[in-house]
Amino acid sequence: MILQAGNAIPGTAAELILASSLPTKIVLVVLALLSLLSWAIMLAKWMEIRRVAKQSAAFLAEFGRAATLEQAAGIARRSPASPYTRVLARAVNFLHELRPVGAGTGSDQSTLTAAQVEALHLVLDAEFTAERDRLGEYVPTLAVIGSASPLLGLFGTVLGVINAFVGIAQKGSGNLGAVAPGVAEALTATAAALAVAVPAVFGYNVFAARLNRFDGEIEGFGAELIALLARERRI
């Protein structure tokens, strides 16, 4: 929609949006939906990471006092589910599956072979990756929103500039009344795109940094688990 001569120039953001062309309104609606999605993801991820950090801290405090793998497994069974309890449960299940291999010693505490230790490392690495993927679910969506929003805003900006030139052509002059509606429409789309992209990119960087720190923390837990097995002389 092109503002015709004699129409009042919009003076508020709401009036600018209502007076904009239909394609620009569609762009603004899409940007609004992307903004809601990004904020919903950031809120959900913040709550999830906060909950996981609280549960994990409680478990790790007790795990540090465990003298054997069985004690650690008992602590995990009593604790709320967390990435660390699932990693420990996967390691315990793997070791239980190896019992027939060490059955010749007559003890469940048989020493693991070098190949079995390497297999345990691979199992732990796979579980680390699964836990990171679980915790980082939907975080890449923030990067997509942060990258796509400026392009959508640019599309709206181009539409506004086109309307400005059409206004000049219709009025036969380049005075302020002819170009102001189109320029205002273009700047509205630009501002809306930035309002969507900036929080999304900021949120993505914050959560990506937290996930990188989580990688180091859970790998450190894996090293402590291996050290516990070494103290039991199972490695």
List the end-to-end C-alpha distance of the chain, in Å, as a whole number.
Answer: 75
Residue 8 in this model has a pLDDT that exceeds 70: no
Q: What pLDDT band is residue 6 in, cutting at 50, 70 and 90?
A: very low
Which has the higher per-residue pLDDT, 6 or 95?
95
- Give the number of other Cβ atoms within 10 Å of residue 67's Cβ: 10
pLDDT at 162: 80
216 confidence band (pLDDT: 50, 70, 90): very high
Give the pLDDT mean for 21-27. 82
What pLDDT does residue 172 have? 61
Give the amino acid at 217. E
Residue labelled with tokens 């020493």 = 111
pLDDT at 87: 93
List pLDDT tens digits, range 172-202.
655 666 566 667 778 888 889 999 999 999 9
Give the residue, 95 or 5, on which the prediction is more confident.
95
pLDDT level of residue 156 (50, 70, 90 thresholds): confident
Compute the distance between CA of residue 57 and CA of residue 142 in angstroms, rounded to an integer. Answer: 27
Q: What is the mean pLDDT of residues 206-215?
A: 94
Report the pLDDT value the prediction gives residue 1, as an integer from 0 to 100: 40
**pLDDT at site 130:** 93
SS (H, E, C) 191-230: HHHHHHHHHHHHHHHHHHHHHHHHHHHHHHHHHHHHHHHH
| Interval 120-129 mean pLDDT | 92
Q: What pTM was estimated for this model as a whole?
A: 0.80
| Per-residue pLDDT, 3 | 40
Residue 59 has pLDDT above 50, yes or no: yes
Query: pLDDT higher for 13 or 200?
Result: 200
pLDDT at residue number 132: 94
Which of 111, 100, 122 is closest to 235 using CA atoms? 111
Q: Are 226 and 87 within 8 A, CB to CB?
A: no
pLDDT band with cut points at 50, 70 and 90 for residue 115: confident
Average pLDDT across the chain, whole number: 83
Tokens of 82: 């967390």
**What was the pLDDT predicted at 136?**
93
The string of DSSP letters for the chain reads -PPPTTPPPP-SHHHHHHHS-HHHHHHHHHHHHHHHHHHHHHHHHHHHHHHHHHHHHHHHHHHTT--SHHHHHHHHHHSPP-HHHHHHHHHHHHHHHTTTTTGGGTSTTPPPPHHHHHHHHHHHHHHHHHHHHHHTTTHHHHHHHHHHHHHHHHHHHHHHHHHHHHHHHHHTS--HHHHHHHHHHHHHHHHHHHHHHHHHHHHHHHHHHHHHHHHHHHHHHHHHHHHHHHHTT--
Question: What are the CA-CA distances from residue 232 to residues 26, 37, 53, 55, 89 (Å)?
Answer: 65, 49, 29, 27, 18
Within a 10 A sphere around the Cβ of 146, how many other Cβ atoms?
21
Pull the structure tokens for residue 98.
Answer: 């190896």
Tens of pLDDT, residues 61-76: 999 888 888 899 999 9
